[in-house]
């Protein structure tokens, strides 16, 4: 009986996801076409992913939601005990593609040239294989839900050139990204959508889109993480 209980606990523990809210108050990431900072998009989506993950029987811990986690190394420390690290971000484009416009009278920058989600893994993460397996599973579920990979991060230009790990599912290698490289567990970074794209920003602001992305991400994690109990 005790053995069975321990086995059950081990199974549950093997399915805890650390959901990292990318950026912090002083450096809130990119600014959307209409002037909203990335941190706010990241926080809203991370909360939705947490809820979807719990709904599928996964354990979760939310990291950096208060906007005060300034050091990347603290995020890794805070994820201690988790079995997977997912960093949640929203995307921009290289500066040469940004154009000026005004929104509500305020000068802003946008690029409608790029759209879609991207996933990143590091070959320097000690759990490279499971990282890629989960990134591919998340990408496959996002595609099934009607989202398309952005693909432009593989373009051979300065700032991009991130080779495909799984082109079909929109997964790139980004070996030196600190949170991916430093995590002791399988780790994936999600760029959920391009918020300098005016149309995509509007989509990303909708609660329905957020729920659909979160459901796809949670389905992918549920599928790829070991110890599935249902
Ligand atoms: Zn970011």
pTM of the model: 0.93
**Cα 28 to ligand 1 centre (Å):** 8
Q: What is the pLDDT along the chain (230 residues), one digit of tens a residue?
A: 444 444 444 444 469 999 999 999 999 999 999 999 999 999 999 999 999 999 999 999 999 999 999 999 999 999 999 999 999 999 999 999 999 999 999 999 999 999 999 999 999 999 999 999 999 999 999 999 999 999 999 999 999 999 999 999 999 999 999 999 999 999 999 999 999 999 999 999 999 999 999 999 999 999 999 775 54
CA distance 227 to 21: 25
**Cα 1 to ligand 1 centre (Å):** 47
**Which residues 6+ apart lie within 8 Å of 74 measured at CB?**
none
> Beta strand pairing status for 118-121 and 171-173?
parallel
Angle at 190 between CA 184 and CA 193, to 5 degrees: 170
Q: Which of 64, 219, 55, 70 is nearest to 134 (CA)?
A: 219
CA distance 139 to 117: 8
Ramachandran quadrant class, 147 (left: phi over 0; alpha: psi -120 to 50; beta: rest): beta
**Cα 41 to ligand 1 centre (Å):** 10
**Cα 29 to ligand 1 centre (Å):** 5
Q: Which of 116, 117, 138, 135 is nearest to 125 (CA)?
A: 135
**Cα 191 to ligand 1 centre (Å):** 7
**Cα 7 to ligand 1 centre (Å):** 38
Q: How many CA atoms lie within 13 A of 229 on its CB side?
A: 14
Q: Tell me the helices (H) and strands (E) count for the chain, helix number first.
A: 7, 9
**Cα 146 to ligand 1 centre (Å):** 23
What pLDDT score does 228 carry?
56
What token pair was written down for 161? 């050139």
**Cα 184 to ligand 1 centre (Å):** 21
Between 38-55 and 207-224, two packed helices, what is the crossing angle to 10 degrees?
Answer: 50
What pLDDT score does 122 carry?
98
Cα separation of the two ends of the chain: 20
**Cα 37 to ligand 1 centre (Å):** 10
CA distance 104 to 193: 23
The order of strands in the sheet holding 171-173 is 59-63, 16-21, 84-91, 187-194, 118-121, 171-173, 164-166
**Cα 87 to ligand 1 centre (Å):** 9
What are 87's strand-pairing partners? 20, 189
**Cα 38 to ligand 1 centre (Å):** 7
**Cα 31 to ligand 1 centre (Å):** 10
Express each pLDDT in 185-227 by its tens digit.
999 999 999 999 999 999 999 999 999 999 999 999 999 997 7
CA distance 52 to 211: 8
């Amino acid at each position: 009986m005790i053995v069975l209980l321990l086995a059950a606990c081990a199974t549950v523990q093997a399915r805890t996801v650390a959901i990292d809210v990318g950026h912090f108050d002083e450096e809130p990431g990119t600014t959307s076409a209409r002037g909203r900072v990335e941190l706010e998009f990241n926080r809203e989506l991370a909360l939705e992913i947490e809820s979807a993950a719990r709904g599928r029987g996964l354990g979760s811990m939310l990291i950096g939601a208060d906007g005060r986690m300034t050091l990347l190394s603290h995020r890794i420390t805070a994820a201690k005990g988790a079995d997977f690290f997912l960093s949640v971000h929203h995307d921009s484009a290289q500066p040469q593609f940004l154009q000026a416009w005004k929104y509500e009278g305020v000068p802003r920058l946008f690029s409608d040239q790029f759209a879609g989600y991207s996933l990143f893994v590091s070959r320097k993460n000690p759990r490279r294989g499971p990282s890629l397996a989960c990134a591919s599973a998340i990408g496959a579920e996002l595609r099934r839900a009607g989202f398309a990979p952005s693909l432009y991060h593989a373009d051979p230009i300065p700032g991009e050139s991130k080779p495909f790990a799984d082109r079909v599912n929109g997964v790139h290698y980004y070996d030196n990204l600190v949170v991916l490289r430093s995590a002791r567990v399988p780790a994936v970074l999600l760029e959920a959508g391009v918020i300098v794209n005016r149309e995509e920003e509007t989509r990303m602001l909708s609660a329905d889109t957020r729920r659909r992305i979160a459901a796809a991400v949670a389905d992918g994690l549920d599928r790829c993480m070991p110890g599935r109990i249902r």
